């Protein structure tokens, strides 16, 4: 059973703190192993990647077969049913349209001193996307990672997707095709991250790596950060639903289970201002768990990390929501827009009872790669901004240098950086001589 909490209880704060601090991440100490894999790939390149792929994925490759050929991709994509193709195309169109609106504009102006200032945006030249592999891999994640990169203007986009025993998911390859991916490699694990970061004879290095993965992939991303950029280190999925009694309990139960079925370490929380409604939802969850295909996973998540919290009112619910800072936040209340203005820490907010989180996972448009483990307090979900760089621009005229240069000289002197100051002084002497 999940934890039942009530803010009127004297023990609430201690119990809530326990809920917030519960360790859900399954992160075994793999750093030493990953460090060895990265060093091996850096020194032996293709040979190391091929050897590790044989060991972990039971797939024999050569430098020539590391990547899917155009014919292999076309053959796999041809297996996709018309219904699946249409659904994936709709998702791709909506995701692309949403992210196109995120593109920032260059800006430039001349200030009162006569200096021309501004900034311009440019995309990283190459990006790599990690896609968890096998037949259970998720084509939606390909769309969510690859489309923002291409909208941002990334010239070269490579994905790595492990194919254990040579089995690839045709939908993943179609998603790559729809997203404009340039290269698809059938490799995975820490060795794939290392290959993207440092390059091999067959795989050119990239500038940024995004995408989810297991503990080895997460550790590899941490290790290569600095050599390349990364998106985030994502933890288990989570959802917080704030709901009043004027909801269908079974709908709320299914929304909670939509994240619980991801992973035994996922977390689903309901906050409601009606204790009776909370109990009814809990019963609906148990009933759904009797028949859900992934009931073993979802049941373990719900029992170990689920929670139902009763609050005095929705203002109190908003305060708790901000402390939780959930990855996904559903507001199933009479006025979700008003409540959303008070819930400022969340990866993504879903407004109203007809906006289940699952819409956001697939066809809503906003990105489903979101901050977890309370990191929504200080970070955002994946966007085109992850693939863009801002470069500042400055042009100082002689008149502007006369106006602002003396202050620069003074500040340089205060910091004992003589050459800094002299670089300004030399120019002012010419102008004033």
The residues annotated with a catalytic role in the active site are: 327-328
Task: Retrieve residue 92's tokens.
Answer: 């791709």
* C-alpha span between 367 and 303 (Å, rounded): 29
* C-alpha span between 73 and 19 (Å, rounded): 46
Candidates 329, 301, 323, 305; CA nearest to 243 is 329
DSSP string, 195-216: HHHH--SSS---SEEE----HH
| Cβ–Cβ under 8 Å, residues 185 and 66 | yes
Residue 122: left (phi > 0), alpha (psi -120 to 50), or beta?
beta
Task: Give every CB contact of residue 164 below 8 A, 6+ residues apart in sequence.
Answer: 57, 58, 59, 133, 134
Task: Retrieve residue 159's tokens.
Answer: 């994905």
The Cα angle at residue 249 between residues 90 and 288, in degrees rounded to 5: 75
* C-alpha span between 191 and 177 (Å, rounded): 24
* C-alpha span between 77 and 9 (Å, rounded): 57
DSSP string, 161-195: ---GGG---HHHHHHHHHHT--EEE---HHHHHHH
| Cβ–Cβ under 8 Å, residues 40 and 200 | no
* C-alpha span between 177 and 143 (Å, rounded): 10
For 346, counting Cβ atoms within 10 Å of its Cβ (0-12 exposed, 13-18 middle, 19+ buried), the class is buried
């Amino acid at each position: 059973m999940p934890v039942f909490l009530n803010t009127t209880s004297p023990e609430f704060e201690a119990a809530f703190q326990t809920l917030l601090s519960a360790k859900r991440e399954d992160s075994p100490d793999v750093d030493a192993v990953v460090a060895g894999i990265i060093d091996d790939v850096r020194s032996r390149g293709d040979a190391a990647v091929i050897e590790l792929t044989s060991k972990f994925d039971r797939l024999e490759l050569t430098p020539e077969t590391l990547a899917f050929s155009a014919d292999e991709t076309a053959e796999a994509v041809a297996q996709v049913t018309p219904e699946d193709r249409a659904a994936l195309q709709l998702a791709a169109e909506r995701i692309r349209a949403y992210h196109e609106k995120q593109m920032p504009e260059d800006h430039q102006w001349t200030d009162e001193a006569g200096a021309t200032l501004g900034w311009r945006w440019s995309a990283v030249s190459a990006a790599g996307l990690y896609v968890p592999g096998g037949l259970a891999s998720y084509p939606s994640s390909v769309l969510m990672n690859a489309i923002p990169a291409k909208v941002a203007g990334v010239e070269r986009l490579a994905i790595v997707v492990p194919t254990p025993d040579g089995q690839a998911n045709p939908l993943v390859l179609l998603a790559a095709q729809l997203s404009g991916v340039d290269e698809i490699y059938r490799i995975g694990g820490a060795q794939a991250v290392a290959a993207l970061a440092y390059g091999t004879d067959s795989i050119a290095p990239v500038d940024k790596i995004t995408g989810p993965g297991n503990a080895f992939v997460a550790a590899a991303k941490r290790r290569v950060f600095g050599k390349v950029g990364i998106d985030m280190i994502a933890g288990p999925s989570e959802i917080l639903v704030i709901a009043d009694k004027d909801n269908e309990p079974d709908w709320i139960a299914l929304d909670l289970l939509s994240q619980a079925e991801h992973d035994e370490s996922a977390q689903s929380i309901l906050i409601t201002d009606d204790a009776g409604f909370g109990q009814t939802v809990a019963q609906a969850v148990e009933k759904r768990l009797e028949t859900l295909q992934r009931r073993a996973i979802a049941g373990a998540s719900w029992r170990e990390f689920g929670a139902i919290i009763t609050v005095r009112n929705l203002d109190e619910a908003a305060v708790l929501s901000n402390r939780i800072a959930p990855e996904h936040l559903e507001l199933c209340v009479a006025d979700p827009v008003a409540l959303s203005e008070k819930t400022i820490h969340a990866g993504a907010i879903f407004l109203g009872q007809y906006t289940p989180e699952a819409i956001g996972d697939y066809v809503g448009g906003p990105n489903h790669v979101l901050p977890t483990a309370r990191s929504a307090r200080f970070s955002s979900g994946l966007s085109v901004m992850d693939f863009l760089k801002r470069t500042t621009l400055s042009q100082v005229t002689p008149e502007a240098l006369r106006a602002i240069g003396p202050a620069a000289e003074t500040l340089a002197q205060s910091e004992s950086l003589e050459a800094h100051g002299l670089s300004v002084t030399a120019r002012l002497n010419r102008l004033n001589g």
